[in-house]
Amino acid sequence: MAVLSILKFPDPRLHTVAKPVTQVDERIRQLAKDMGDTMYEANGVGLAATQVDQHIRMIVVDVSETRDQLQVFINPEIIGQSMEKKEWEEGCLSVPEVYDVVTRPDRVRVRAMDLDGKTFEVEADELLAVCLQHEIDHLNGKVFVQHLSNLKQNRIKTKIKKQQAVK
């Protein structure tokens, strides 16, 4: 089990746009396993490679109750989304102890590759839809707090600086 270090907001590396994975090899499979271990250890439901300072287009997700259904999405892209929107309270492993409501499309269709390099598509709603959109945002250099007002973003930055000063 390898637990990786998670970048914390407002680290500028979180705003790096990830590059596509060109070959699914053992290095990618090991990174996916390590990302899963890291996500589970941090008690999260999703993690993007960007968050562990690997700027490639890969995310891991597990929204199951049993926490044993890790899904890996390589080069994920949203290829469809509902017009209906839904509000969800989101948090982020890169923004610890901060939760706020974000409005996103209610349903999405995502195309990606699996660990064998095979393309697949998934229709998602509820928590899985939110999680996929949140993690794909990371790959595009966007942290969920950027969906919030400037006032809220500044409050979050101040709160995090205070937390870091205590440590």
Residue positions annotated with a catalytic role: 135
Map tokens 């929204």 to a residue: 63
Pairing of strands 71-81, 107-113: antiparallel
- DSSP per-residue string spanning 43-54: T-SEEEGGGGT-
Amino acid at 123: E
Under a CB-based contact definition with an 8 Å cutoff, are residues 58 and 110 in contact? no
Distance, CA of 40 to CA of 77 (rounded, Å): 24
- Asked whether residue 131 is marked as a ligand-binding residue, the answer is no
Is 134 annotated in a binding site? The answer is: yes
Backbone angles phi, psi at 75, to 5 degrees: 55, 50
Q: How far apart are CA 129 and CA 148, in angstroms?
A: 19
Measuring CA to CA, which residue among 69, 101, 71, 99 is closest to residue 86? 101
- Can you say which residues are annotated as belonging to the binding site? 92, 134, 138
**Binding site listing for Fe cation:** 92, 134, 138
